[in-house]
Amino acid sequence: MPKKTKTKLIDKKNIRKDGRKLDELRSIKLEIGVLNNADGSAYIEQGKTKILAGVYGPKEVHPRHLALADRSLLRCRYHMAPFSVDERKRPAPSRREIEISKVIREALSSTLFLEYYPRTSIDVHMEVLQADGGTRCAATTVASLALADAGIPMKDLIVAVAAGKVENKILLDLNGDEDKIGEADVPLAIMPNSKVITLLQMNGLLSVEEFKQTLNLAMDGCFQIYQHQKESLSKKYAEMKEESE
Ligand code: ADP
């Protein structure tokens, strides 16, 4: 019988299974305004992770008793499609999806001027079409763009990415296998211009030094993704300008 060897995710030259360096993001594709019937929408591909976001609002709140007198009610729904993972996922919201919806709502709400639209609601739907790690962060990044596409006034975009520890090394933007096998991961969301942190979680164990390193790496990753966000918005508005001329 051949001896079972543990699969290595990082080789001797510090190259990961998908060909990336330790501090390299997965390739990112962003598109804005992909849905006709939503007030705002966006789509992200980050490596093999694929997520669609649609925003409805500001609009009348249903049920009405949930309306807030001084601001808009921001509701976020992160959902994984049944076909988004290798074994069919039950469509009903899981505890994990409820938790992720909550942390994303909190991450997004601090940048929005919700007080401009009292007694209304803004609904953000994030549908994970394919999950391969980092979905809460990619969903946050794409939801922020969908909100911008809906014209919701905001102080800044929100951008998110995770970094973590795998096989004793600190890595940026963990994919599904790295997330599963790794020792720790730290999802981070920030307002890139003020560097205010709006989401910070940690799964697993890190020393204080490792945590600082992981956080700095995730920060760098956020700034890189922010450039993609800005480019995708500029592209969308350049196209709109061309169409109107
Ligand atoms: P995140 O996607 O933000 O990293 P988790 O750490 O909770 O969130 O999940 C890590 C990864 O595990 C997901 O991106 C996905 O690839 C996988 N995963 C999550 N839930 C399921 C599930 N029900 N079935 C199979 N894989 C899952």
Q: Is residue 5 part of a domain?
A: no
- Model pTM? 0.96
In this prediction, residue 105 carries a pLDDT of 98
Q: Is residue 189 part of a domain?
A: yes
Query: Is the Cβ–Cβ distance between 79 and 136 less than 8 Å?
Result: no
User: How many A from CA of 197 to the centre of ligand 1?
Assistant: 23
Q: Is residue 130 part of a domain?
A: yes
In this prediction, residue 243 carries a pLDDT of 85
User: How many A from CA of 180 to the centre of ligand 1?
Assistant: 8
In this prediction, residue 242 carries a pLDDT of 86
Three-state SS letters, the chain: CCCCCCCCCECCCCEECCCCECCCCCCEEEEECCCCCCCEEEEEEECCEEEEEEEEEEEECCCHHHCCCCCCEEEEEEEECCCCCCCCCCCCCCHHHHHHHHHHHHHHHCCECHHHCCCEEEEEEEEEEECCCCHHHHHHHHHHHHHHHCCCCECCCCEEEEEEEECCEEEECCCHHHHHHCCEEEEEEEECCCCEEEEECCEECCCHHHHHHHHHHHHHHHHHHHHHHHHHHHHHHHHHHHHHC
Q: Is residue 216 part of a domain?
A: yes
In this prediction, residue 2 carries a pLDDT of 52
Pick the atom of ligand 1 nearest to 187's CA.
Answer: 3
Write the residue with the smallest CA distance to atom 2 of ligand 1.
135
Q: In total, how many domains does the chain have? A: 1
User: How many A from CA of 133 to the centre of ligand 1?
Assistant: 6
Write the residue with the smallest CA distance to atom 26 of ligand 1.
85
Q: Is residue 101 part of a domain?
A: yes
In this prediction, residue 33 carries a pLDDT of 96
**pLDDT tens across the length of the chain (245 residues):** 454 556 789 999 999 999 999 999 999 999 999 999 999 999 999 999 999 999 999 999 999 999 999 999 999 999 999 999 999 999 999 999 999 999 999 999 999 999 999 999 999 999 999 999 999 999 999 999 999 999 999 999 999 999 999 999 999 999 999 999 999 999 999 999 999 999 999 999 999 999 999 999 999 999 999 999 999 999 998 988 888 88
The finding on whether 134 has its CB within 6 A of some atom of ligand 1 is yes
Pick the atom of ligand 1 nearest to 89's CA.
Answer: 23
The residue behind tokens 């669609």 is: 52
The finding on whether 181 has its CB within 6 A of some atom of ligand 1 is no
Q: How far apart are CA 8 and CA 242, in angstroms?
A: 50
Q: How far apart are CA 164 and CA 132, in angstroms?
A: 15
Q: Is residue 4 part of a domain?
A: no
The finding on whether 176 has its CB within 6 A of some atom of ligand 1 is yes
Query: Is the Cβ–Cβ distance between 183 and 204 less than 8 Å?
Result: yes
Structure tokens, 87: 């074994």
In this prediction, residue 164 carries a pLDDT of 98
The finding on whether 182 has its CB within 6 A of some atom of ligand 1 is no
User: How many A from CA of 107 to the centre of ligand 1?
Assistant: 19
In this prediction, residue 244 carries a pLDDT of 85
Residue 124: closest CA among 112, 115, 132, 134: 112
Among 26, 135, 173, name the best residue to mutate to test ligand 1's pocket (greatest count of ligand atoms within 8 A of Cβ): 135
CATH of the domain at 126: 3.30.230.70
In terms of residue numbers, what domain contains 126? 28-239
The finding on whether 79 has its CB within 6 A of some atom of ligand 1 is no
